[in-house]
Amino acid sequence: MPGAQVAAINAVAETGEIDQRVIERLAQQSGQEPAKIAQQVQQVYDGFHGAISSRLEGAGVHDLELFDEFVGSDQRLHRDMQKAVRDLMMHNDASGFDRLATSYREALDQIDPEAVAEALAAAGIRHRRDGGGILMTLPGHGEVTYRAAMKAGLIKVSRV
């Protein structure tokens, strides 16, 4: 893969934006006008963004803005997101997004405790807030943290 293409992928992974200098390098290498290259790159970017959004939504992430805040609030998660973007663009491997979606779902009681409490109440699951998280009482399991219940598959995130 030519250096300018790798630079474009890295720029998108690092910043989420398309670097104009990279567009100019790609245009120079291809002999095409920068505006045409920018349009092509934007179409590819939009396609990847749509695929990522669909993948995340299919994995239980129903609020992409909240997900972005969650990932942006933690350096490790931010690096994991950058790696997931690179892996998708370079190797057509989207599994990194699945891992990020799992982390998000397992932390929902801390990210959006009101929504989790409402969903648990609507499902008839007894629960209470405990510090930054939620404890629930599940038949046959007693009192379990939201995160532990998610990890064990005792509860699922779904959209109604």
Has residue 129 got a pLDDT over 90?
Answer: yes
Q: How far apart are CA 72 and CA 13, in angstroms?
A: 13
DSSP structure class, residue 140? T
What integer pLDDT is reported at residue 5 of this predicted model?
66
What integer pLDDT is reported at residue 20 of this predicted model?
84
Give the tens place of pLDDT for each residue, 10-34: 677 677 777 788 888 888 888 999 8
Structure tokens given for 152: 């064990």
Q: What DSSP letter does each residue of 56-108 carry, written as one string?
A: HHHTT---HHHHHHHHHT-HHHHHHHHHHHHHHHHH---HHHHHHHHHHHHTH
Q: Which residue has the higher pLDDT, 22 or 5?
A: 22
Give the tens place of pLDDT for each residue, 59-98: 989 899 999 999 999 999 999 999 998 898 889 899 999 9
Instruction: With cut-offs at 50, 70 and 90, classify the pLDDT of residue 41.
Output: confident
Domain ranges of the chain: 3-106, 111-152
